[in-house]
Chains A and B, each alone.
With several copies, the nearest count.
Chain A
Amino acid sequence: WDEPVIFELSTPGERGVLVTSIEPGVRDAVGDVVAALPDGLARQAAPALPEMGQMRVLKHYLRLSQENLGADFNVDVGQGTCTMKYAPKVNERLIATPKLSAMHPLQDPADAQGALEIIWRTERMLAEISGMDEVSLHTQGGSAAIWANIAMIRAYHEANGDGEQRREVITTIFSHPSNAAAAKAAGYDVITLHPDADGYPDLAALKRALSPRTAAIMVTNPEDTGIYNPAIREWVDAAHAVGALASYDQANANGILGITRARDAGFDVCHFNVHKTFGTPHGSGGPGTGANAVSAALAPFLPGPRVVREGDRYEVREAGPQSIGAIGPFHGVVPNIVRAYAWMMALGAEGLRAVAETAVLNNNYLMKRILEIPGASAPYATGRRRIEQVRYSWQELFEETGITSEEIGIRASDFGMHYWTSHHPYVVPQPFTLEPTESYSKAELDEYADVLAEIAREARETPEVVRTAPHHQTVHHTHHDDLDDPERWAVTWRAYRRKYPQAVGA
């Protein structure tokens, strides 16, 4: 398709959907409500939205959808750190009922027993999976859950009179950037640790960084390299030794479900990216769902409201006095919670362990296939196994051919494959991160590895083909420099018309 921008499809007078009429009885009673508005409150010029018949709107967006490579369509192992896995279609069917979509969050809890029970049961399952005492599904995504982690930590220290003293948060460079960013947003100074020469988190560096000023360590494990920190308990113990809390970013939990648990390593608080590990669809970038799991000591600080069980009934309890309060509206992203519940119930303990083990098997199998490609390497922890993903490097290929990882990723799209090139900061040169999860068969992993091998061959033999990619996409090489220049960027059609009058006039 070569589908235009939607504003170009407008025809005056067409309608996409009609609104219900004001009843005569209402009109008689209230008169012309627009005319009666106070001065200046009635909009003068109608918003310049497009005017389109319903089918044309539909066709436009359906065509756009076909210009998008959903996870259902490709071997989506190239978005490392994102845990791209199968989001079962049965869960989409199960949530597609007015009995969920038409529920208002302030309805009588007696009318919401199903929703409340599912939230409660999901929290209890996550408590078991993490080993923690209490869980909240209130947050709207992984980073929001990270924010809740640091907000709870902040409230905890304040409650203990330590708020003024503990001004630092320690994280590692291979933990998700939001750990650093949320800590900063919460007012903390951030200390970022780099790994040792083998790529393992550096316990000595941690001990040097810890002090009575430390509020918390916030780490991922395994990190985005797929390396599991074998000294994780020592890290937690060291943090505790200076009175700091230990916060565990479990975004990468997929390879360790049922293998090892956050609380067993002594963490005080952790979070899951429910939309990743627990199989909800990623929605083109959300909505996600976060789960915050905490020890009993932190439980009073969980965000609210909470769902509680009273006998065989489920009730809503407002946030308590120590709670950090609402992070977002109501009970979080309920459709995702129900999906995650269904996903876990379809698998059970044996299934979750099979998820972890298979994700790890797939990763190590794929690593073997990738490392057979000349020019590809897996920095750090040479010769050792990885957990659920690997951050690879095309540095050798780059040195040989000048082809960058980004160019390879764009070329991969010509083969119908996703491949994510953004791995700021570029600690690993020419990085690419593959996380095959449990959802792909051996045949699909082989297919993916074959594509990368083919592109590496092209990089050597016909580098122009790679350099000028994409060749088989609806859109061609795009001038992204425009987007960093305030004079040239165009975030909306309004701005585009203003900045590029000649283009729009055409």
Chain B
Amino acid sequence: MNRPFVHPYIPNTAPDVRAEMLDTVGAASVEDFYADVPADLRLGRDLDLPEPLVAEQDLARHVSGLLARNVPTTERLSFLGQGTYHHHVPAVVDEVIGRSEFLTAYAGEPYEDHGRFQALWQYQSLMGELLSMDVVNVPTYDGFQATATGLAMAGRITGRRRVLVASDVLPAKLSKVRDYVRVHLDLEFVDPVEGTADVAAIVARLGDDVAAIWVETPSRTGAVEHRLQALADAAHAVGAILVVGTDPVGYGVLTPPAEQGADIVCGDIQSLGLHQWYGGAHGGFIAVHDDPRFVMEMPSRLFGLATTDVPGEVGFGDVAYDRTSFAHREEGKEWVGTAAALWGIAAGVHLALMGPQGMRELGEVLLARTAYAQRALGAIPGIRLTDRAVHLREFAIDVAGAGLTASGIVTALRAEGIEPGVPAGEHELVVCVTETTSQADIDRLAAAVTGLVAASAAEAASTLDPIAEPEEHRA
């Protein structure tokens, strides 16, 4: 078609206006504006891209058609976790973060963006209550980044390099943290015992060259650390810092790490009001006590409350902006950029809706369903729980005794519409339950696994010597 290209997203493609504007600035064509781009760098052809779908209806049909090829967890029975969790998101959360005012804002100032400042300050405050800490950042990207930065902070504060890693850490998270801090810190791993920290072994390795003990709770397998205070005391005795990576979802019922001596508490807020989004909706929090030594090492923005010219009125602004790379480039602490503010607003709304009672009930449901699922699966012959710690939401089973592999279970159960968990090694399967996983769902998983175990046993029997091994020996 020869008609001019006019696009709804680009008002000044309207030909008359375009000509008028060129005329106003005295340009013959838009080519004039590119005078500084050397001819040999000019592309000189159209980009080789798919045919566009300029009519909205055609675009919608195309994209929806692609997405229709996804089969979401609403149509599968999912026991997947390992960093992204399926929690219920109250509708009010989505309503608030879907508001154009929040969704499309960016970096406005405290006056015209008063609402954004207040919403994020409230997020900080609500998280502060949940975590019993006085300082919480505007969210960074995710729990990976938050923990990497938390450790880096510990390094800067102490001027030391050694970090004792007390817990099982999610492999991807460890990958991130390791690459992020390796110039500044050395990670040393102290194997956990029964899912939680080997306090004695850690104490034995502590010294005045240790920057931090790093605890993850819940750990990679969902184990809840129950000896934080001992670790904190030991760390503090040598001037080291206790950095706790955690998921805040349990602190309606669990004691927050700050009340057990943690100095830096960090983690991910995806569990607090964010959908799974194929792993694409994470935000990182870093919480510290109100101690300038710690606060001044935080790279993220921190919003603060302040008085105004009107008595009794409160306004908001940036706390200690000079910490940041916005202010001082490489002299700032790490860097700050577009991260996850909207998710922070979401988490704030979520906590406001849940209230103390809701968070308590949620914590209880999670503990109860986890324990129930552990019993249901652990009771299957040949399957055992990998440890005896308290678990929140996730736990691992070892399926070797049933003659199965973790990936074999996954493959078999996917055919039944079940995602039974995430394999970790040949025989370990990490299973996740949340408040959206009902008793019936867990029972269905247990039945399906029982079926596999039985089939495996039958197959084993058929390939064994006619006189089968006694059952007892195989458990």
Contacts and interface: CB of A to CB of B under 8 A. Distances in A.
A150 B62 CA distance: 36
Interface in A107-160: 107-108, 111-115, 117-118, 121, 125, 128-129, 140-144, 146-147, 151
Interface string A48-72: 1111111111101111111111111
Interface string A18-51: 1111110111011001100111111110111111
Interface stretch (A202-210, A348-356, A391-399, A459-467): A348-356
A184 interface: yes
Q: A18, A144, A183, A409 — which one has the most chain B CB atoms within 10 A of its CB?
A: A18
Contacts of B95: 58, 89, 92-93
Contact of B111 (A180, A286, A473): A473
A483 B304 contact: yes
B337 interface: yes
A107 B76 contact: yes
Interface in B34-87: 34-38, 40-43, 46-60, 62-64, 66-74, 76, 78, 80, 82-84, 86
B109 A409 contact: yes
Nearest to A141: B338
A54 to B, nearest CB: 4
Contacts of A348: 49-54
B340 A49 contact: no
Q: B27, B184, B282, B290 — which one has the most chain A CB atoms within 10 A of its CB?
A: B290
Contacts of B73: 102-104, 107
A326 B338 contact: no
Contacts of A48: 129, 356
A265 B337 CA distance: 27
A345 B279 contact: no
Q: A39, A176, A478 — which one has the most chain B CB atoms within 10 A of its CB?
A: A478
Nearest to B367: A33
A27 B135 CA distance: 37
B2 interface: no
B320 interface: yes
A478 B33 CA distance: 41
Interface string B243-284: 000000001111110011000000000000001111111110
A410 B113 CA distance: 11
A188 to B, nearest CB: 9
Contacts of A265: 41
A362 interface: yes
Nearest to A131: B43
A102 B60 CA distance: 14
Contact of B12 (A60, A107, A358): A358
A31 to B, nearest CB: 8
A327 B176 contact: yes
A285 B118 CA distance: 14
Contacts of B94: 89, 93
B357 interface: yes
Given A106-B80, A495-B134, A47 B34 contact: no
Contact of B103 (A147, A283, A364): A283
A419 B8 CA distance: 25
Contacts of A233: 38, 40-41
A65 B96 contact: yes
A333 interface: yes
A317 interface: no
Contacts of B315: 475-476, 478-479
A332 B390 CA distance: 31
A64 to B, nearest CB: 4
Interface string B431-460: 000010011000000000000000000000
A351 B419 CA distance: 37
A6 B109 CA distance: 21
B49 A344 contact: yes
Contact of A493 (B16, B129, B309, B349): B129
29 contacts: A6-B125, A12-B14, A12-B16, A26-B439, A41-B226, A47-B129, A49-B351, A73-B101, A82-B107, A89-B94, A100-B72, A101-B276, A107-B73, A113-B69, A178-B336, A258-B43, A344-B49, A346-B9, A350-B52, A351-B54, A360-B33, A385-B27, A385-B32, A417-B112, A438-B9, A475-B316, A483-B304, A491-B136, A506-B312
Given A283-B342, A413-B111, 18 more contacts: A38-B226, A43-B253, A54-B8, A68-B112, A69-B112, A86-B9, A102-B72, A104-B278, A108-B419, A181-B334, A185-B152, A284-B119, A329-B143, A350-B5, A479-B309, A482-B306, A482-B307, A483-B304
